[in-house]
Amino acid sequence: MIVAVATQKGGSAKTTTVVNFGAALAERGERTLIIDLDAQSHATLWLLGSTARQVGPFVHDWLDDRVEPDAAVRPTRWCDRPGGGTSMCSQQISA
Ligand SMILES: Nc1ncnc2c1ncn2[C@@H]1O[C@H](COP(=O)(O)OP(=O)(O)O)[C@@H](O)[C@H]1O
Ligand SMILES: [Mg+2]
């Protein structure tokens, strides 16, 4: 299942929805990958903390063909659950 949450309007709870929906899926035992394409990288901040936004490789490194996609995937605290959650981060996508 692939779920995309998108709307041009900022502050409309996209990130809040994605982070909580992803965590709920992981807690139910689903393998969950959250892809954070927003240059604000708030999903990454929420799931992994501020230091994760400074250490690459990032999702834009994969989009630019500099790394394989797996290189940008980080484990989250939900990874010890039966399904496990993961996150991609995108800080500096606009740098
Ligand atoms: N159900 C809610 N009730 C109150 N505040 C909320 C709710 N959902 C999100 N927020 C708040 O709204 C703000 C914007 O949410 P966010 O998910 O970051 O928006 P977006 O990703 O669409 O820009 C955040 O400060 C968040 O804590
Ligand atoms: Mg957001």
Query: pLDDT tens across 40-75, in order?
Result: 888 888 888 888 777 888 888 888 899 998 888 888
On whether the pTM is more than 0.75, the answer is: yes
Query: pLDDT tens across 12-21, in order?
Result: 999 999 888 8
Number of residues written out for the chain: 95
Amino acid at residue number 85? G
User: Cβ contacts of residue 41 below 8 Å, gap of 6+?
Assistant: 53, 89, 90, 91, 93
Choose the residue to mutate in 14, 15, 16 for probing ligand 1, maximizing ligand atoms within 8 Å of C-beta. 16
Q: Is 13 in the pocket of ligand 1 (CB under 6 A)?
A: yes
So what's the pLDDT on residue 11?
A: 92
Domain ranges of the chain: 14-88
- Maximum distance among all Cα pairs of the chain, rounded to whole angstroms: 37
Planar angle of CA 34, 44, 77, nearest 5 degrees: 75
Question: By alpha-carbon position, which residue is closest to atom 8 of ligand 1?
Answer: 13
Ligand 1 centroid from CA 10, angstroms: 9
So what's the pLDDT on residue 92?
A: 39
Question: By alpha-carbon position, which residue is closest to atom 3 of ligand 1?
Answer: 13
Please provide the distance, in angstroms rounded to a whole number, between the alpha carbons at the two ends of the chain: 31
In eight-state DSSP terms, residue 24 is H
Choose among 75, 18, 76: nearest CA to 43.
Answer: 18
